[in-house]
Each structure stands twice: as structure tokens, then as C-alpha cells.
Amino acid sequence: MIKFSAYGRAKLCERMTKVLSEMETPYEVEHIDIQAFPNKKEQYSISIIPTHIIVDENNVLQKRLDGLASEDIMREWLNE
């Protein structure tokens, strides 16, 4: 799973980081700061933050969750 954020500038991103840190997920989470890596923002068409995506071994998008989500919503999304 890749989590796109703007560290230190977006309160929603900080809240989602906390939600993820308190969860057990079936995926390794890679955190990407879109300010530090704008090319990744373009590569995955990130228009709002936080955004979470799951890609396959070929970096093909499998799932996407845009915006703030509760722990329950995140769990449901991960288990779809």
C-alpha cells in the first residue's frame, strides 16, 4: 500500500497516519510525501491528500481510497 501525504502541512494526513499506525494491515505501507516526490503524485494521478492506493507487482493500480477515512472504513476497504 502506498500512502500519499503532505507531511507537516496537512492535518488530515497526520490523522490518517495515526489511524494506520494503530492498525494491523495485510500490506507493507510506503509513505510518500507529495511535496518531496511530485513525480509520484503525477504518476498515480493524486489530486487530494491523503490518498491510499494498492498496486500489484507491476505497479498497476488495484485499489484507491481518497481522503480521510475512519479505521472502520479503512479496514473495510482493505478487506474488499
pTM of this structure: 0.85
Reply yes or no: is the peptide bond before residue 26 cis, omega within 30 of 0. no
pLDDT for position 16: 83
Whole-angstrom Cα distance, residue 10 to residue 27?
24
pLDDT in tens, 1-48: 888 888 766 777 888 888 888 888 888 889 999 989 999 999 999 999
